[in-house]
Amino acid sequence: MSTNEVGLSRGRKLTLTALLTFIAIVWIIPMAMALLSSFRYFEADTLQNGPFSWPETLTLDNYREAWRVGEIPRHFWNTMFITIPALLLILLLSSMLAFACTRFSWKFNVFFLVLFTAGNLMPQQVIFQPLFQIFKKTPWPDFLSDTNTGYLLGTKVAVILIHVAFQTGFCTFVLSNYMKTIPKELGEAAMVDGASVWRQYWQIILPLCRPAFAALATLEFTWLYNDFFWGNVLLQQGDQKPITSSISVLNGQYASDYNLIAAASMMIALPTLAVYLALQKQFISGLTLGANKG
Amino acid sequence: MSGNYESSPSPSEVGFSLVSRRTLLAGAAAVGGAVVLAACGDDSEGSEGTSGGTETTAAGGGGDTGEVSFGSNYSDEKPKAAMQAALDATGLSVKVNTVDHNTYQEQFNTYIQQPDDVVCWFAGYRMRAFAGKGVVGDISDVWEGLGDMSDGFKNASTGLDGKQYFVPFYFYPWAIHYRRSLFEEKGYEVPTTWDDLLALCEKMKADGITPFSAANDGGWPQMGMFDMINLRTNGYDFHVSLMGGKESWTDDKVKKVFENWSTILDYYQPDVNGRTWQDAATALGNKETGMYLLGTFVTSNFDPATDPAAQEIIDDIDFFAFPEIDPAHGQDAVEAPIDGFMMAKSPKNDAGARALLGALGAAASIDAYLAVDPSSVAANSAAKTDGYSALQKKSAELVGSAKYIAQFLDRDTDPDFAAKVVGKALQDFLSDPTTIDTVLATVEEQKQTYTFE
């Protein structure tokens, strides 16, 4: 009987391994194909022999070409110009909010928490039209942006604002769950010692939230970096677009060189990959942070 | 250049087939040449605009135009270089905002709400829709300086209010293509009237040749036939009005179009709806068929790089204007999608924008453009033609002499209405011509859901 059980579980194990291997391969194929394609000539090789053939020669030409034509450095700078300020603002604002909603009990703290987290449930695209009109009509001094449109529309500030508005909800949710796990007594002790609310927030709670910040920052960085929609619709100048939407310039009018696009995609994906590999632990804990109350 | 288009291709997408190795080299040489041309343009040609500004930089002086911003969808390398040459030739200080052509077109609705001073766009309904909404600027005064543009181009640049909102740059025409050698061999004459055409079809049929190459894969190629028969039967004004949603599709005039069409359906290749335009073009190349109504991009189906016989076919292909049906309209209209420019409603640099539009409409800038990318035909009649192929020369003549220029059905009406309603209706008609009454009633019914601005 026991042998039977072992056999069964071994069989199960095998099936499971086979299944997981299969799924892993299915997942890896598009990535691997894109990587391989990015090193091949398109017209002379891929187009003649098909994408699943063995490459005739390997080359870095696609990378050089994509770097030059796609103006990768400029668009990368655009993305950073949006991502980093947005990220800092999001973490600052959401931590304040989470602090106020979890560390104090007042009349509307639950209401506000729900309000902010409920915002996550709304698909962002839904409010594109009204937002577009608001931005179009909101004057914005040119010295506060690097694009002189005179209005919020078309500036990177507009994109930053939208990211802050939308991501603050999720971050508040995660941070408030985390802050709830910090013993109440810490705050009470600080209060007895005469620490102001600001001091409790800045010197006691924030340092304790460091793991949550690391996780959120990693997660949010990739989300903001990968944003395609807002950067694409709000910025009208081709050279202002973030890196994710800039890639479309490589799409030829007559025919597309897919290997060139693959090379650009690889370069664009690299920073998020690097962040993921370097901060893997935080990334995974970030995904599960909001999952339980700890 | 072997794309399967979902809608009729733009002039910038197809152009004229000149892609033999020889012309490629010539093109590369021309990039260098354009720089020289542009340098020449600085002091003379650029000043033909309205404000007369000859400044090359933003710093004041005579016409003082300052920097003009220019929204461009010329994103591929060669057209981009060509457009830069054209802009340089204007002698004005221009800041170019290049957005890839797909994004540009898809997001034009939002882009035009915060546009650059001058923007690239298309003539006809697509321009009129924006002119009608008041989001682009009236440039009638610029047109006073565009003496080299024919009436046809002016009409195609005119909004429903009679003002001009568009400056044409280049185009390609639709016409009936044939192989000159076949016509010579069999002694066929180019038909100029509907009866001539029917007689010619009979002759071809007797000779064992299918008179018409016919394709409709993608739903757009046969729109050209509808357009031409409508333009010849009912005239340009009715056509525009019908496209603008102002006429009833169950009108007898529309029925008449399909009656006329039915008379030549017997001469079509069978099973039109499933055939790609390339396959139909191949049949014309093989002399299996006698005639083919399509844009001049038909020659791009033949690639000398892969097929040694292709160059001979390309050189042998000629075209003629669609024959007259009603003498009241003669052959006064031609179909030719035009690419060009519009002005923002309230450009930051108004004088500069007008000067730039005037200069882009002048021969110098299109000459500079064609020097880099020779596969288009200039709208300006004073443009240099020595680099043209025979087909390009003929295109320039055909369209230049036309009184009216239609833009092709999917550019002359709401694009969605064109594809989903009219395109579908034409497919239904072609698969069973006897159902035309129900087909037209359906179009009229579905038309009600479109606003046609």
Instruction: Please write the tens of the pLDDT for every residue from A120-162.
Output: 778 888 888 899 999 988 988 887 777 777 888 888 999 999 9
B82 and B161 fall within a common domain: yes
At A290 the pLDDT is 55
Question: How far is CA B369 from its chain centroid?
Answer: 17
Chains A and B form CB pairs within 8 A to the count of 55
B217 and B68 fall within a common domain: no
Question: How far is CA A95 from its chain centroid?
Answer: 18
At B142 the pLDDT is 94
B297 and B443 fall within a common domain: yes
Contact between A136 and B99 using a beta-carbon 8 Å cutoff = no
Closest CA to B425 of B278, B293, B249, B246: B249
Range of the domain at A171: 72-289
What is the β-pairing status of strands B93-98 and B338-343?
A: unpaired
Contact between A236 and B115 using a beta-carbon 8 Å cutoff = yes
A56 and A121 fall within a common domain: no
**Contact criterion met (CB below 8 Å) for B409 and B243:** yes
Quick check: helix, strand or coil at residue B44? Answer: coil
A249 and A212 fall within a common domain: yes
A248 and A126 fall within a common domain: yes
Chain B residues near residue A239 by CB distance under 8 angstroms? 97-98
Q: How many domains does chain B have?
A: 2
As a whole number of angstroms, the distance between CA A75 and CA A73 comes to 6
A269 pLDDT higher than 80: yes
A56 and A76 fall within a common domain: no
> What is the share, in percent, of chain B residues with pLDDT greater than 90?
59
Contact between A253 and B98 using a beta-carbon 8 Å cutoff = no
Give the chain B residue whose CA is nearest to the CA of A255: B1
Among the partner residues B13, B102, B110, nearest to A254 by beta-carbon distance: B13
Crossing angle of helices A280-289 and A258-278, rounded to 10°: 80
| Beta bridge pairs of residue B174 | B295, B335
Range of the domain at B17: 11-171+338-390
Q: State whether residue B7 sits within 8 Å of chain A by CB.
A: no
Average of per-residue pLDDT across B99-121: 88
What is the rounded radius of gyration, in angstroms, for the C-alpha atoms of chain A?
24
Q: For residue A54, what are the CA distances in angstroms to A20, A40, A45, B225?
A: 26, 10, 9, 47
DSSP character string of chain A: -HHHHHHHHHHHHHHHHHHHHHHHHHHHHHHHHHHHHHTS-IIIIIHHH-TTSPPS---SHHHHHHHHHTTHHHHHHHHHHHHHHHHHHHHHHHHHHHHHHHSS--TTHHHHHHHHHHGGGS-GGGGHHHHHHHHHHSB--GGGSSS--SBSTTSHHHHHHHHHHHHHHHHHHHHHHHHHTS-HHHHHHHHHTT--HHHIIIIIIHHHTHHHHHHHHHHHHHHHHH--HHHHHH--SGGGS-HHHHGGGGS-SS---HHHHHHHHHHHHHHHHHHHHHTHHHHHHHHHHTT---
Class of residue A290 by CB neighbours under 10 A (exposed 0-12, middle 13-18, buried 19+): buried
Among the partner residues B1, B98, B102, nearest to A254 by beta-carbon distance: B1
At B100 the pLDDT is 85
Contact between A253 and B76 using a beta-carbon 8 Å cutoff = yes
What is the rounded radius of gyration, in angstroms, for the C-alpha atoms of chain B?
22
Average of per-residue pLDDT across B368-391: 87
A247 within a domain of the structure (yes/no): yes
A222 and A271 fall within a common domain: yes
Among the partner residues A233, A238, A245, nearest to B97 by beta-carbon distance: A238
B5 within a domain of the structure (yes/no): no
At B2 the pLDDT is 39
Among the partner residues A136, A233, A255, nearest to B107 by beta-carbon distance: A233
Closest CA to A238 of B122, B104, B120, B110: B104
As a whole number of angstroms, the distance between CA B366 and CA B436 comes to 44
Contact between B111 and A236 using a beta-carbon 8 Å cutoff = yes
> What is the share, in percent, of chain A residues with pLDDT greater than 90?
23
The C-alpha of A51 sits at a distance from chain B's nearest C-alpha, in angstroms, of 19
Contact between B102 and A238 using a beta-carbon 8 Å cutoff = no
Contact between B98 and A251 using a beta-carbon 8 Å cutoff = no
Q: State whether residue B102 sits within 8 Å of chain A by CB.
A: yes
Q: For residue A12, what are the CA distances in angstroms to A22, A24, B104?
A: 15, 18, 54
As a whole number of angstroms, the distance between CA B243 and CA B119 comes to 24
Which CB contacts under 8 angstroms, 24+ apart, belong to A97-105? A97/A168, A97/A172, A97/A175, A97/A176, A98/A171, A98/A172, A98/A175, A98/A176, A98/A178, A98/A179, A99/A179, A99/A201, A99/A205, A101/A172, A101/A176, A102/A176, A102/A179, A102/A180, A103/A179, A103/A187, A103/A200, A103/A201, A103/A205
B239 pLDDT higher than 80: yes
B301 within a domain of the structure (yes/no): yes
A229 within a domain of the structure (yes/no): yes
The C-alpha of B323 sits at a distance from chain A's nearest C-alpha, in angstroms, of 32
pLDDT bucket at B157, cuts 50 / 70 / 90: very high
For residue A109, which amino acid is it?
A: N
A115 and A229 fall within a common domain: yes
Give the chain A residue whose CA is nearest to the CA of B9: A254
B305 pLDDT higher than 60: yes
- Distance in Å from the first CA to the final CA of chain A: 41
Give the chain B residue whose CA is nearest to the CA of A235: B111
Class of residue B413 by CB neighbours under 10 A (exposed 0-12, middle 13-18, buried 19+): buried
Q: Which one of A19, A42, A61 terminates a domain?
A: A61
- Helix or strand holding residue B371 (H, E): helix B363-372
Q: How many domains does chain A have?
A: 2
A106 and A57 fall within a common domain: no
B151 within a domain of the structure (yes/no): yes
Q: Which of A239, A248, A253, A260 is the best mutation test for B, with the most CBs of B within 10 A?
A: A253
B223 and B368 fall within a common domain: no
Contact between B103 and A149 using a beta-carbon 8 Å cutoff = no
A67 within a domain of the structure (yes/no): no
B27 and B160 fall within a common domain: yes
As a whole number of angstroms, the distance between CA A172 and CA A165 comes to 11
Chain A residues near residue B3 by CB distance under 8 angstroms? 254-255
Q: Which of B74, B110, B111, B117 is the best mutation test for A, with the most CBs of A within 10 A?
A: B110
At A272 the pLDDT is 87
Among the partner residues A69, A236, A251, nearest to B114 by beta-carbon distance: A236
As a whole number of angstroms, the distance between CA B114 and CA B125 comes to 21
B346 and B325 fall within a common domain: no
B408 within a domain of the structure (yes/no): no
The C-alpha of B425 sits at a distance from chain A's nearest C-alpha, in angstroms, of 29
Query: In CATH, what number is assigned to the domain containing residue B56?
Result: 3.40.190.10
As a whole number of angstroms, the distance between CA A36 and CA A51 comes to 9
Instruction: Check residues A54 and B135 and name the one with the higher pLDDT.
Output: B135
Residue B290 DSSP label: E
Among the partner residues B76, B99, B110, nearest to A233 by beta-carbon distance: B110
Instruction: Check residues A132 and B26 and name the one with the higher pLDDT.
Output: A132
Closest CA to B198 of B277, B271, B262, B283: B262
A36 and A175 fall within a common domain: no
What is the β-pairing status of strands B167-171 and B210-212?
A: unpaired
Q: State whether residue B306 sits within 8 Å of chain A by CB.
A: no
Chain A residues near residue B97 by CB distance under 8 angstroms? 236-239
B407 within a domain of the structure (yes/no): no
B357 and B315 fall within a common domain: no
B343 and B427 fall within a common domain: no
Task: Write out the two tokens for A210.
Answer: 């460091």
Q: Which one of A10, A31, A61 terminates a domain?
A: A61
Among the partner residues B1, B79, B113, nearest to A136 by beta-carbon distance: B113
A145 and A226 fall within a common domain: yes
B178 and B159 fall within a common domain: no
pLDDT bucket at B45, cuts 50 / 70 / 90: very low
B150 and B211 fall within a common domain: no
As a whole number of angstroms, the distance between CA B255 and CA A34 comes to 53
Average of per-residue pLDDT across A267-279: 86
Contact between B76 and A149 using a beta-carbon 8 Å cutoff = no
The C-alpha of A146 sits at a distance from chain B's nearest C-alpha, in angstroms, of 15
Average of per-residue pLDDT across A65-75: 88
B58 pLDDT higher than 60: no
Task: Write out the two tokens for B34.
Answer: 């354009």
B273 and B344 fall within a common domain: no
At A159 the pLDDT is 93
pLDDT bucket at B222, cuts 50 / 70 / 90: very high
A124 and A30 fall within a common domain: no
At B4 the pLDDT is 53
A205 and A270 fall within a common domain: yes
A34 and A98 fall within a common domain: no
The per-residue b/e assignment along B240-275, b for 16 or more CB within 10 angstroms, e otherwise, is bebbbbebebeeeebebbbebbeebeebbbeebbeb
Name residue, tokens 């605009």. B49
Q: State whether residue B4 sits within 8 Å of chain A by CB.
A: no
The pLDDT tens digits of the residues spanning B134-152 come to 999 999 999 999 988 988 8
The C-alpha of B281 sits at a distance from chain A's nearest C-alpha, in angstroms, of 19
Q: State whether residue B212 sits within 8 Å of chain A by CB.
A: no
B108 and B39 fall within a common domain: yes
